[in-house]
Amino acid sequence: MGGERALIATVDRIELDERGELLAVLVLDDGQQLVFPLGLLPEGTHKGSVLRLRFEPDPETERERRERIQRLQRRLFGPEPGEEQG
């Protein structure tokens, strides 16, 4: 995995939140902590597991969200100046 950019995290602990959901507290090599629902992590993840975190763009979801926000803004504030109504 030579040139790949990824973060390495260790599962420090698994906790129960106020709704009864299991959360994994991940500690990055620089000490920062991230909290994830345990169900989103690979099966078998446990205290002490070491995980490689990678992020990938999701342009389709980004486009859908931007369009939804634009529709809401038009509903709330009307069309942008110069934008056709219709």
Domains and CATH numbers, the chain: 7-77 (2.40.50)
Residue 1 has pLDDT above 90, yes or no: no
Residue 33 has pLDDT above 80, yes or no: yes
Model pLDDT for residues 73-82, shown as the tens digit of each residue? 999 999 877 7
Residue 84 has pLDDT above 70, yes or no: no
- Of the pLDDT bands very low, low, confident and very high (cuts 50, 70, 90), residue 67 is very high
Q: For residue 40, give Cα distances in angstroms to 2, 35, 43.
A: 26, 11, 9
- Which long-range CB contacts under 8 A does 29-34 form with residues at least 24 apart? 34/9
Query: Which residues neighbour 29 within 8 Å (Cβ) at sequence distance 6 or greater?
Result: 7, 8, 9
- Residue 86's pLDDT is 55
Radius of gyration of the chain (CA): 20
Query: Which residues neighbour 54 within 8 Å (Cβ) at sequence distance 6 or greater?
Result: 4, 5, 6, 7
Residue 53 has pLDDT above 70, yes or no: yes
